[in-house]
Amino acid sequence: MYARELAKKHPELVRQVITLATPFADQANSTHAGWLFTLLNGGVSPMDEALLRQLGIDPVVPCTSVYSPSDGIVGWSGCVGTESEYHQNVEVDNVSHWGMVHHPEVLRVVARLLGEPRHRSFRSLLDACVTKLF
């Protein structure tokens, strides 16, 4: 989530964001760990509506969300964003939440993404065109 938020504030410094089982599009308390966070916060959800809306906005850099329906900790639907010019979702089967960082299929997805050439966002392309005009 930190990477996504930093990419929103400084897209010129970010090549791409790859999230693994990250519930940026989730509703408060819909993960298996949500009840614990609420309990530790005195019975109040630490996620208010404004924060949830902010987290759901995609950065203007290429973003890939890797998720698994068999996660077991995070609800997979909270890890899926709207497909767009900047965002894609990649489902991996039979991967636990803790397995995301070492499962061979997930590592192949991350390696493929890191090996792709740098993408220029629509914004940077537009900026380059405007600079040439003036």
> Do residues 29 and 52 touch, judged by C-beta distance below 8 A?
no
Instruction: Report the distance separating Cα 80 and Cα 56, nearest Å.
Output: 10
DSSP for 84-110 reads -SSEEEEE-SS--TGGGGT-HHHHHHH
* Residue ranges per structural domain of the chain: 2-26+58-133
CA angle 80-85-87, nearest 5°? 25
- Local confidence pLDDT in tens for the 134 residues of the chain: 899 999 999 999 999 999 999 988 866 555 656 666 666 666 666 567 777 777 778 899 999 999 999 998 888 988 999 999 899 999 999 999 999 999 999 999 999 999 988 765 444 544 544 454 44
Secondary structure E strands in 4-127: 17-20, 63-67, 87-91
Cβ atoms within 10 Å of 30's Cβ, excluding its own: 13
Three-state DSSP at 54 gives helix
Q: Name the pTM for this structure.
A: 0.74
> Do residues 18 and 106 touch, judged by C-beta distance below 8 A?
no
